[in-house]
A and B are shown apart, each in its own frame.
Chain A
Amino acid sequence: MARKEKIRKIKKKKSDRIRFGFRSLAFRYSIFFILAVMLIFLVSFIYTLVYTTQILAKEADNDISKTMELTITRLEKTFQEAEEVPKVLARFVGTADPNYSEMRKVLQGIVLSEPYIYGTSMAFEPYAFLKDSLYYALYSYQVGTEIRTRFLGGDSYNYFEREWYKKAKDEGKAVWTEPYYDEGGGDTLMCTYSVPLFRDVKGKETFIGVLTLDISLSAIGRAIAQIKVYESGYAFLVSGEGVIIYHPDSTLITQNIFTLASDSIRPRFQSLAKRIQDSSEVNKVIILGRTTNTTKVELLPSTGWYLVVVFPVLEVFGDLLDFLKYLGIIFLFSILAVFIVTILITRRLTKPLRKLVKATHQIGQGDFDLELPRVKRRDEIGVLANSFTVMLDKLKEHIASLQKTTSEKEKIESELNIAHTIQMGMLPREFPLRSEFELFAVLDSARAVGGDLYDFFFLDKDHMFISVGDVSGKGVPASLFMTVVRTLFRSRTMDGQPLHQIMALINKELCKDNPNVMFVTMVSGIINLRTGTIDLCNAGHNLPLIMDREGEVRRMDLFSAIPLGIKEYHGYKTEKIQLKPGDRLVLYTDGVTEALNAKGEFYNESYLKEVLHEHRRADVPTLVKKVVDSIHQFALDVEQADDITMLILGYQKSSESAEVPLERKSIQLPNQLEKLHTIVETVEEISRDWNISSKASMELNLVLEELFTNIVFYAFTDKKEHLIDITFSLSSSGILEVVLVDDGKYFDLIEASEEVNLDAALEERKVGGLGIHFVKQVMDEMSYERKRGKNVVTLRKYIK
């Protein structure tokens, strides 16, 4: 267990000691700060990225568009120039009637005029040029550096069915053919511009033939190949029908992109084909594509061809990506720097806090005198540190005052304890042992000092004063007042005045100087022990109870005057009551009947009567103790608000009673067990003479045997002979009294007798101790006195 405790302690220490952990303020706030900075950086980074990308894309688009435009303009110019030539020539053929040599000259001139004009021809309708010739077509073209001219047409080359002838004838206007490989004609990949020739025959425009211009595509290809798009971008040309006119990959030339698209070997042609089919996609500005390559398509208006530019996106943004990479690295370093700076700052900020934490631990261990760290700052932490200092001062003050009050309280408590001892010491504890009466009283203080009192003292040989009172209020004032009351009674009662006068006198004295108007309720009495008459006076107190020999309990009906100490008053009454032998007068305070239990119920008078009745056969001290015990059992752990006081006076009968004994017999026996038979004989004798029943006689025998053997066995420590006196007497009222006197050692058999548990099981039953129990059970009264060095035991039995 000790180990566990230790571990827990260490753990606690660790968590308490805030240095620079993950829970520290510095760390947490740095993290928050860093996250915020990162977020801001990220947002601006993304914005920059998007913005620059857009700009770069736009610029790239512009650049490429410009390049394409330039190329297209050049091509367009070429085509327009090319278109001009046949038109002029057509007019010339339409109006004039040129011969072969003129025509040859013109055609060769055209071929020479432009490098990309591969060849030119003039083809006529059947028999239109010469009446006897079906075909007539003249074609001039380049072969290396020289120009050749030859006739076209024949069974193997029916030019009327050729696209360049048919299309121009059918549409009646100049047309561009699709690129084709002209076998038997130019023997090269070319495109032909065909212009129809008309002549005015009798005022009517009549088609007579076609004039063509062959453009060598390799020449155009060279122009397009010159287009440079970034590092690896390239351009190619597609006809309106989708035939690739030029492509850097020469194997693709003359292939149709629609065929290629359906082939799906080259997926990029699919999107291209789609864009050409759906002309709206043409000219679209390039977008940062998902694919690595981006394509831009532009239409050539004169021919209906498309210029396609393909370029890798990465090259467009190449610099941007590099830039972003550097930006990222800078960003990371900045964050690290910010992080370190934040930590340093927060650590600096929280340094006083950590010192305060350390100080708190020391204070927690009771070190209030430690010097708190000086914090000069005026911010919140400074304020905290200052209030901490103030708190420590207040705490010191508070603890000091607490210590002071505690020690003062302890002092008061110990003084109260002393007061309690003094107060209790004032109550008479030595209860008189007289054969004519029994007296016992108990005072149970609710607090250290209480306001209840009981008192008794002899006025003379035969008269005794008794009282029970309850001072208003509790605590020290009540106990002081009680002391005053007691002292007054002790000093004033000796005078032999009647009780009501004594009460009135003391009342007057108490009223005289009583600014706090304290008062005391009280029942006082003076008993004549010889006659059994008692004078009682009640000043506002609980009415006493009286229990007769049979255990019948009743409340005494006394006049209740006002309590003592309230005002001067002369209405106190002395009431005379005659006690019968065996009567028990019960005086008590309301602490008895108003004892509370946990349910809030009162002990009350009727229960008190029951308890008294139950223990009617017990002697007076036992009776009082039984009642007090029953109160404690009733209340259990409930703390009582009031003192519990009870005084019981049991009146027996004066030994010097007015009743003269009718009969009397005395015997004297030596302390020898064999003398028991003398007792038996004497008992037999008096039983016969005094007319005592055999049952009573036997009981008397039993009792005397027990007492006699007891004396013989235990009373004498020497071996000498001692005499034991036994006196029997019978009074007129039928009381049989037996008095045993021995000069043995002190032995109060009433005190020594222990209660015998009659219900105990066999195993618990003691073999001895029965004798005194018999005596108690059989006799009605039993008393003990030590008189002049002798033990006097008086037994009484009512036999009539």
Chain B
Amino acid sequence: MATKTYAGVNIEVNDEGYMTDSSQWTKEVANEIAKEEGIELTDKHFEVIEYIRNKVAAGESLTIRGINKSGVVNAKIFYQLFPGAPLKKATKISGVPKPVSCI
């Protein structure tokens, strides 16, 4: 287990940089993780992050299909907001575990 300093706070992360304690998450922390991923967060990003954090807190699995149907963003915008590997990046920034689903 490693710790990283984001926004002046020591945050526990795993080998891949995912936060292991979701309760340590704040918007400031999210902004700094996003910067490492080359993303500048906007209000729209935070809407998606809120959706992801709520889903995970409810114990539901995250899929691209679910995001597409979330009513927050469609898949196309989601890919634009988190370019590259969207679900991996979005979960990392949201302070939740990396999704294990294949879809």
| Same complex | no
Interface residues in chain B, defined as those with a beta carbon under 8 Å from any beta carbon in chain A = none
